[in-house]
Amino acid sequence: MSTTSKTQTLPLPTENYETAWNNILKIIKDNISLQAFKTWFEPIEAVKLEKNILTIQVPSQFFYEWIEEHYISLLRKTMMRELGKDAKLEYRIVMEKNNGKKPDTTIDLPNEKTGNNKNPDVNAPAIIGGSVKNPFIIPGLKKINIDPQLYAAYTFDTFVEGDCNRLARSAGFAVAQKPGGTSFNPLVIYSAVGLGKTHLAQAIGNHIKNLHSGKTVLYVQIEKFANQFIDAMKNGHINDFIHFYQLIDVLIVDDIQFLAGKPKIQEIFFTIFNHLHQSQKQLVLTSDRPVKDLQDMDERLLSRFKWGLSADLQVPDFETRIAILEKKMYADGIELSREVVEFVAYNINTNVRELEGALTSLLAQSVLNKKEIDVELAKKIVKNFVKSVTREVSVEFIQKTVCEFYQIPYDKLKEKTRKRHVVQARQLSMYLAKNFTKNSLKSIGKHFGGRDHSTVIHSCQAVQNMVDTDIAFKEEVTELEKKISMSL
């Protein structure tokens, strides 16, 4: 049986520049993502082919630099396959538009990596400015002059740490120390309104600017990002818009939940996110809800939001609220009695922004009315400015306050246990209920597992006897009475 050997021959170099470029594009398209192909290769046009030197026209100086940095190896291999081993590449770079009055200005630039040492025109535009539109600064300023859009007062020093935010703050500080170099990328910070998301996100940016001066940091609200995208579409600057954001080293995006229902903006953000993440640039995102609860979002985008760490900011506890007020008082040069600070901290317990706003209102009223800031003035101001503080004292409220104070489960007060600490908490709750509510003794007893009025009388007398003879217990009762009074 005879065999026939076949010799594989390489195709002859293509002579037509359009055919050559189309063949090159087919190979490139199979080797990179579709989005990258659309972004970086579809806008390129082949111009001429002379002696195995292919000239292509790119939309901007930035485009040229990006191709050279990220795709030159792939380009060289495909060109050698299509045009032969001596293939070379030259660029024609489109300069600034001239509003249709004159043709686009171009410069010819040989590929330096092919052995040519010619430099581009000295008047070529900077990466930022010129042909790439910067939505934040005046065209012509360089990358290092991008305004980070950060509020200088938002720092880690002014962000009060507590159990409610320790994880998020620690993660944020780690990111600020080593942006793009931790597993917290992206870092998603989420919470309800007014709990410090923006403060923490900008604190990260400010710390990075101080620690890594060479890093380009940018904070942007998603609504501003969306408006810039719309403007870019109207003016035909989508590529410039994408290029600008892909230059950023640390991108901080506030309120990503507003991406919901905007598929085109989500697609652009997906492109920018992918590029930055793959380039080990840092992303910090904030949201008013966990990633899993975001609605009307591209699943690809949601999956990428989950790549790093999601950390929430919870409602601050009483001690943290006091620390927040004291920090603000110190910064503003205000002195208030401990009683007033505790009153404000106790009553405004849902929102840091409201807490600071109440303190500002309190100070303003004191100055305008020339009154000393005491608890009475604080009661008046807080009730006028914060609707959520009006609370009717009930037996249940007193029970929960006592249980929280002594760290006893609420249900224990209704059980028939004779454990001393539970009995004491139950008796004290009855005593306070009698003094602070209009409930009858019989009604109070029902709240404690159906006990009768004689048990309530005995409990009140027992508490009074301890108050008269035990100084430490008396202080505890006084502290609880103060907490309840603050809610009135």
In DSSP terms, 109 is beta-bridged to 91
Mean pLDDT of 375-402: 69
Verify that 299 and 337 share a domain, yes or no.
Answer: no
Q: Report the C-alpha gap between 140 and 149 in whole angstroms.
A: 18
Q: Where is pLDDT greater, at 410 or 95?
A: 410
Verify that 378 and 409 share a domain, yes or no.
Answer: no
Domain extent at residue 27: 17-114
Looking at the structure of the chain, the number of domains it has is: 4
DSSP string covering 416-458? ----HHHHHHHHHHHHHHHHH----HHHHHHTTTS--HHHHHH
Verify that 170 and 308 share a domain, yes or no.
Answer: yes
Verify that 107 and 189 share a domain, yes or no.
Answer: no
Q: Which two tokens stand for residue 144?
A: 């290092």
What pLDDT does residue 15 have?
60
Verify that 210 and 83 share a domain, yes or no.
Answer: no
Verify that 282 and 332 share a domain, yes or no.
Answer: no
Q: Indicate which CATH number applies to the domain containing 45.
A: 3.30.300.180
- Of the three residues 389, 405, 439, the one that is the final residue of a domain is 389
* 3-class secondary-structure state, position 81: helix
Contact by Cβ (8 Å): 55, 92:
yes
Q: Write out pLDDT tens, residues 70-126.
A: 788 888 888 888 888 888 888 887 754 444 444 444 444 454 443 333 333 333 333
Does 451 map to a domain?
yes
Is 286 a residue whose pLDDT tops 90?
A: yes
Verify that 214 and 329 share a domain, yes or no.
Answer: no
Verify that 70 and 86 share a domain, yes or no.
Answer: yes
Q: Where is pLDDT greater, at 89 or 66?
A: 89
Does 161 map to a domain?
no
What band does 5 get if pLDDT is binned at 50, 70 and 90?
A: very low
Most confident of 313-327, 378-392, 474-488: 313-327
Is 130 a residue whose pLDDT tops 70?
A: no
Q: Is 370 left (phi over 0), alpha (psi -120 to 50) or beta?
A: left
Verify that 259 and 297 share a domain, yes or no.
Answer: yes
Verify that 189 and 271 share a domain, yes or no.
Answer: yes
Verify that 271 and 404 share a domain, yes or no.
Answer: no
Does 344 map to a domain?
yes
- Of the three residues 286, 312, 338, the one that is the final residue of a domain is 312
Does 147 map to a domain?
no
If 0-12 CB within 10 Å is exposed, 13-18 middle and 19+ buried, where does residue 182 land?
middle
E strands along 143-224, which residues? 187-190, 217-221
Going by the DSSP 8-state scheme, the letter that residue 188 receives in this structure is E
Mean pLDDT of 362-376: 71
Does 233 map to a domain?
yes
Q: How far is CA 20 from CA 25, 90, 161, 245, 270, in A?
A: 9, 14, 62, 33, 32
Q: Which two tokens stand for residue 149?
A: 């859009």
- Of the three residues 277, 312, 347, the one that is the final residue of a domain is 312
Q: Write out pLDDT tens, residues 270-282.
A: 989 988 998 899 9
Q: Indicate which CATH number applies to the domain containing 236.
A: 3.40.50.300
Nearby residues of 472 by Cβ (< 8 Å), 6 or more positions away: none
Verify that 176 and 232 share a domain, yes or no.
Answer: yes
Does 62 map to a domain?
yes
Does 355 map to a domain?
yes
Q: Where is pLDDT greater, at 145 or 320?
A: 320
Does 291 map to a domain?
yes
Calculate helix-pair angle for 61-70, 238-246, nearest 10 degrees: 50
Q: Which two tokens stand for residue 406?
A: 């002594």
What pLDDT does residue 153 have?
86
Q: Report the C-alpha gap between 372 and 21 in whole angstroms.
A: 81
pTM of the model: 0.54
Q: Indicate which CATH number applies to the domain containing 463.
A: 1.10.1750.10
